Amino acid sequence: MIPGVGPVVGASIKTASIASQWALGTNNYQLKADSLTNQYIKSISKIVTKYRPMVVVIEDAHWIDESSCNLLMRLANRVTSLPLLIVITCRPSYLIEEHPLSKVKNELLMKDLISIIPVSGLNIEETREYIVRRFGSTMNQYLAEWLTIICNGLPLFATQYLNLLEQNGVIQQKDIGNYIFNGEIKIVMGKWEVYGHLANTNIPETIEALLEERIERILEEDREMLQVGAVQGKQFFSSVLANLLQQEERNILKRLRKVMEQHNVVKVYSDTQVSILTEVYSFEHIMLQQMLYKKLSPRERVLYHQDVAELLEKMLIDERNLTRRLILEVANHFDQGNLPLKAAYYYKQVSQFLVVDGAYTEAIQICKRAIEIIRNCDEASHLKAELIELLMISTRWRRGLKVKSELSLLTLAKEGEEAAEKSGDFSLLARLKYNHAILAGETEGLSSWIQGLRNALEAAKRANDPISQFIIASQLGQELRGQDFKAGIQLQRQAMSCFEEKIIKANQEIPSEIKKQYHLMQTLLGVGEFDSSHFEKAIDLLQESVNGFKQLGVIDALPECLNYLAQTYFRLGLFEKAEQALVEAIEVVEDTDEAHSWNGYNLALRGKLYLEWNRIEDAVAPILLGWQESQRTQLKWQTPLVRNYYVELLINPKYQGFNLSEADFQLAITIEETQRSGYHRSAIMALSLRSLVALMDKRFGAALVYSSQAVSYFQKMGTLPALRIEEILFNHYQVLTAVGKHSEA
């Protein structure tokens, strides 16, 4: 603080007239205002001559009285002749036209003696900086964003709320400069949700008091109007409010205009997403809306939510209003209005939009909520099955360990099949069995995957659903190639040929969802042609599917497709093109929070490429990251593949972390896992690599055993997907040479 002014500021006195007595050391409250004003000005002038320059800060000036305003006016006229800066903070919403500070402001503006600086509040980065400075770290990745939104960037609200979190033990100090955050913050269905100890923390009393005082200044009938408006949310429509209050909209608009002018608790909100003749308003911040909303009784809220939902539902008749946002709002209001079937119906619509747009994380949250509210509704079997299908689709590329444990996907898949069977929709049943099969392949192994696909194919035939039949047959062929390559590739080619003949050529306009499935079939067949050594055909199919997914905006399918394309280039020795494809595959999902099921594989494959390219230093980071990522997803088919690449790094003499014992340990795990899961290619590669480890460790007998097992295993299985037999044979050659079996080598 500026010396000499500290006692005045530290006294925490609201008005300048009383503060002047502290500065002057007098307790004579009966002095005339003019006398006090003169004494204050003289005192300031004396202080300024001793301590220059001087800054006078007057906070919360909306509480200022008329005498203090006279002081400000007199002092302002002398500012130009003194090394003095006066900073005044106030809430503009409190300054009605008759307020004494409004008169001072207007007069000083005319004299060009003041500048008005609107304060917009803290943004997310500034809030994050404050949290880091105060607590030493961000503590929670979403805390700054959540706090900025609920406090509208207002520093007072933010600091008071953080104070409360400390008092309630949500924020705890472990040691000097080290704090922990006891709670979890998430975005669920477009709204913030808090869990743990944080969920038990209410708005601070000091903030409630501030808001309550502002609310009490509003006329009772207008308060009741705003309470009803608060039911719709932070933003509300004048047309909806008029219907709820059974008044003419013209009257509502007039009342809202007065509320804005006098209290500034709402403002006109620019919303171009709603094609209806209405005005959209927004509360100043969400805390204000919540306090008004909570003044309604629980039953009032339920009834009003029902009414709001029905009014917004009518807006959806206009196709221009069929936006995710409005549909989600309708669903939320039906949900809060205790009408679960209607809510789930609209949640499903929103989820469909999200899946088409590739917004899978949001779709998962909404489907989860919809399933929860109709789980025990007997009449909702078909709707529940559809929602479970959407959830399975949404999690296909986002099946990290957390998602698996939270959703219990295998149990949910069975529940969906039972619901579809009960509803009599056998096409839906086939699709659910298909998604169930994919999940089983990831969690249980190849035999479960293949059996699940066969069950799904039978269901599709029972439903006489040609599209599902072709798609499932294509996937089944892909997986059969791991056991019977010729039968698998033949099934894939038949499926693609039938699909093109009966679906593609028979329809002039193909829906985007069908195109998506077609490109997925192209991807799978491209892999088959790659494993058949038809490289040119494989590249054409894979590149066409990549381009198709890009045109459709199906970003989450690209990492898989680009992986296969990279493998093809890799095998042809086109390392630059392989690298380009892998870099693109990794960049597609690098900004997402959830683990993508193909990212670990792509990272590790990029490292493997660099090993082959003799770029050992470049190989380290992607392989280690890929190994770490694959442990997040724990996919049965992927983990052994990535582990084998990790082992290749461990046994490279140029790698600083060279470790034969760790490599042998990891390979033993892979061999044991793949014997249970049936992923033969990874088992063969692991045996071959283990022979090299034994060879480098001068355990020649073990090396020969492992290498011979790898070759015998391959000869038994025949051609396998993505297995480079030349690599297996070369490793065997090295072992045979080392043990002196030159003729066999």
List pLDDT tens digits, range 521-558.
899 899 888 888 888 999 999 999 999 999 988 887 89
C-alpha–C-alpha distance, residues 413 and 429, integer Å: 10
Q: Are strands 191-195 and 280-283 parallel, antiparallel or unpaired?
A: unpaired
- pLDDT higher than 80, residue 132: yes
Task: Identify whether the C-beta of residue 563 lies closer than 8 Å to the C-beta of residue 599.
Answer: no
C-alpha–C-alpha distance, residues 16 and 277, integer Å: 49
Confidence of residue 298 (pLDDT cuts 50, 70, 90): very high
C-alpha–C-alpha distance, residues 362 and 385, integer Å: 19
Q: Is 121 or 719 the better-scoring residue by pLDDT?
A: 121
pLDDT tens column, 208-230: 776 787 788 789 999 999 999 99
Confidence of residue 17 (pLDDT cuts 50, 70, 90): very low
Per-chain mean pLDDT for the chain: 84
- Note if the pTM is more than 0.85: no
Strand positions, DSSP E, 27-114: 54-58, 84-88
Instruction: Give the tokens for residue 17.
Output: 């007239």
pLDDT tens column, 486-511: 899 999 999 888 888 888 777 667 77
Instruction: Give the tokens for residue 437.
Output: 């099969």
C-alpha–C-alpha distance, residues 10 and 476, integer Å: 77
- pLDDT higher than 80, residue 482: no
Q: Which of 84-93, 352-361, 671-680 bottoms out in mean pLDDT, i.e. has the lowest?
A: 352-361
Q: What's the chain's length in residues?
A: 745
Q: Which of 128-132, 176-180, 644-648 bottoms out in mean pLDDT, i.e. has the lowest?
A: 176-180
Single out the residue of 11, 12, 119, 108 nearest to residue 69, CA to CA. Answer: 108
- Say what the pLDDT of residue 177 is: 76
- Say what the pLDDT of residue 39 is: 60
pLDDT tens column, 254-276: 999 999 888 878 999 876 565 56
- pLDDT higher than 50, residue 5: no
Sequence-separated (6 or more) residues with CB below 8 Å from residue 275: 318, 320, 321
- Say what the pLDDT of residue 695 is: 94
- pLDDT higher than 70, residue 3: no
pLDDT tens column, 52-95: 788 888 887 877 877 677 778 877 877 777 888 889 988 787 77
Q: Is 346 or 102 the better-scoring residue by pLDDT?
A: 346
